[in-house]
Amino acid sequence: MYTAGIDIGLENIKIVILKDASVAASLTAPSGGKERGKRAEALYDEALLRAGVSRNGIHRTLATGAGKFDADFADGNIVEEIADAAAARYFLKDASAAVDIGADQTRVVSIGADGAVTETVRNQKCMAGLGLALEYMAERLDFSIEEISLIPPERAEGVTVNDGCPVFAELDALELLNIGVPRDAVAGAVTRMTVVRLNSVLRDKDFPDRNRTVLTGGVAKNRAVTDALKALSGIDFVIPESPEYGTALGAALKAAD
């Protein structure tokens, strides 16, 4: 049986086609504003082609993410938290928490013994867009996303930026550049600030289990962030190979139910 999950985020669309609970195809592309519904549909068709299945061959398609309502072609939609939990259980059979860090949102989902969601936390407004902020800083510092992912916070060597607000952090980072701090130290400080904010979301309600927590979302690809977050929070996250597809995968899994 084929099912599909489509995650339309603020920044990127992610699509996963599942065949009997294993990934047959996965694709991603920028969301692109108003056109995101159409773009998702085109991407969906491309993914189907890759998976070698026609639309009729798909049992069910579920959309999720901030733009889930734009996916008219899907059979329905589910909230991100339920998809996150399903994905976490897929990657780790007895997962008790799912953490998803995307361009805009950070979510922490607690999962009960039966797989049901027992608690959810979304980031506060004052730390919205952490992923975007990180990306913007990378651009600013002329690092590729891959490059900045390799710069650990230790490289900051004591310099810090505001950890209360990503906008103030940017101001502080600019000031650091202004006084001649090397750009990799600035990158380290920005990574540290990201990790401090993330750690505080993790502590907002239920603290995720140290060994049974799955981390997904685009930011989970950033090694520097995940390593430092592991160290700071003490959680040994399970991070799948392509974490950005986590929520889409969860939707596809739910489509099979």
Where along the sequence are the contacts to another protein (CB under 8 A)? 10-11, 30-34, 36, 66-67, 69-70, 78-82, 104, 109, 116-117, 119-120, 122, 124-126, 128-129, 132-133, 135-136, 139-142, 160-168, 170-172, 174-175, 177-180, 183, 186, 192, 196, 199-201, 203-205
**Residue 48 or residue 166: which is nearer to another protein going by CB?**
166
Smallest gap from Cβ 239 to another protein, in A, equals 22
Residue with tokens 């929520």: 247
* Closer by beta carbon to another protein, 193 or else 249: 193
Token digits of residue 254: 């739910």
Beta strand 22-30 pairing with 117-122: unpaired
Return the SS3 of 104.
coil
Q: Which is nearer to another protein, 218 or 240 (CB)?
A: 218
**Distance between CA 255 and CA 90 in Å, rounded?**
14
| CB-based burial, 86-103: b 16+ in 10 Å, e otherwise | bbbbbbbeebbbbbbbbb
Q: Could you give phi then psi for residue 69, rounded to 5 degrees?
A: -75, -15
**Residue from 89, 101, 86, 88 nearest 220 by CA:** 101
Residue bearing tokens 């502080």: 172
CB of 203 to another protein, least distance (A): 5
Least distance in angstroms from the C-beta of 221 to another protein: 14
Cβ proximity to another protein, 78 vs 249, nearer residue: 78
For residues 17 and 156, which CB has a smaller minimum distance to another protein in the complex? 156
Residue at token pair 């993330």: 198
Report the nearest approach of another protein to the CB of residue 141 (Å).
5
**Closest distance to another protein from the beta carbon of 117 (Å):** 4
Minimum distance, C-beta of residue 51 to another protein, in the bound complex (Å): 26
Q: How far apart are CA 63 and CA 156, in angstroms?
A: 40
53 or 117: CB nearest another protein = 117
